[in-house]
Amino acid sequence: MINTTSAREAIRLATEAGWGAPKEQTGKRQGKPDTIPMVLHGLDCARVIKALDRIGQPYQAWLRFAYASPGWGSELDMLRVHEALVNAYHRGRTIRQPGKIANLALVALYDFRQRQRSQGAHKLAPAEVCLRVQVDVRNWAKCWAQSYDAMLDELDTWDRDGLAPVKETLNEWAETKSEARDKAKGTTSSDRDVA
């Protein structure tokens, strides 16, 4: 089963083991393999994937690219996210160097993704970004810093808005599990409210 309150972690778990339960959740029951954890894990995976499938583009492609296990996030997802980020950036702006902006978008994608996947990762320093985009670091503050920050802000919006439906699904599970536990104990939510 997927026992987490993190939407990011739920996406990773749902796409990592497929429909089979992780090894630590399997066991024996009366000398036979216990398949209940595999069934429950598969149902949880289906709920997370269903929530992902209901999300529109570019959010869906971003979440698969950023959090899904290899094999789930395709190259097409990465291309969709890159194109959407460049298009979002271009709206309302005059672009002098479109090739550099496309490269800057790629660096922003990988930088943001890395920081979301590992808690200790830091934002790339301006010199690192300039090196990867192949621009002069002396022009960073004047020409590139604002563009890079605008792209990171757009990705942050996609991340927040895209994860919301998955988070709602996780909250629904928590309520359902709580009600099932109460039912098994013979109490109801109104009994808990009175106590």
- What's the residue count for the chain? 195
pLDDT at 27 over 60: no
Residues 90 and 149 in one domain: yes
Write down the pLDDT at residue 153: 94
% of the chain exceeding 90 in pLDDT: 35
Residues 124 and 91 in one domain: yes
Residues 87 and 111 in one domain: yes
Tens digits of residue pLDDT in 183-194: 767 765 555 555
Q: Is residue 179 part of a domain?
A: no
Domain tally, the chain = 2
Tens digits of residue pLDDT in 135-174: 999 989 988 999 999 999 999 999 999 999 999 988 887 7
**Is 44:2 a contact under the CB 8 Å cutoff?**
yes
Residues 77 and 107 in one domain: yes
Regarding pTM above 0.85, the answer is: no
Q: Is residue 183 part of a domain?
A: no
pLDDT band at residue 1 using 50, 70 and 90 as cut-offs: low
Q: Is residue 144 part of a domain?
A: yes
Q: Is residue 192 part of a domain?
A: no
Residues 69 and 157 in one domain: yes
Residues 93 and 118 in one domain: yes
**Is 126:98 a contact under the CB 8 Å cutoff?**
no
pLDDT band at residue 109 using 50, 70 and 90 as cut-offs: very high
Residues 119 and 146 in one domain: yes
Residue 159 to residue 3: CA distance in whole angstroms: 21
Which of 19, 34, 54 is where one domain is finished?
54
SS3 state of residue 25? helix
Write down the pLDDT at residue 79: 92
Tens digits of residue pLDDT in 36-91: 777 777 788 888 888 888 999 899 999 999 888 887 777 888 899 999 999 999 88
Residues 96 and 156 in one domain: yes
Residues 72 and 150 in one domain: yes
Q: Is residue 141 part of a domain?
A: yes
Residues 37 and 82 in one domain: no
Residues 112 and 151 in one domain: yes
Q: Is residue 172 part of a domain?
A: no
Dihedral sign computed on CA atoms, order 67, 72, 75, 77: negative
Residues 63 and 39 in one domain: no
Interior angle at CA 77, CA 130 and CA 109, nearest 5:
20
- Domain carrying residue 46: 1-54
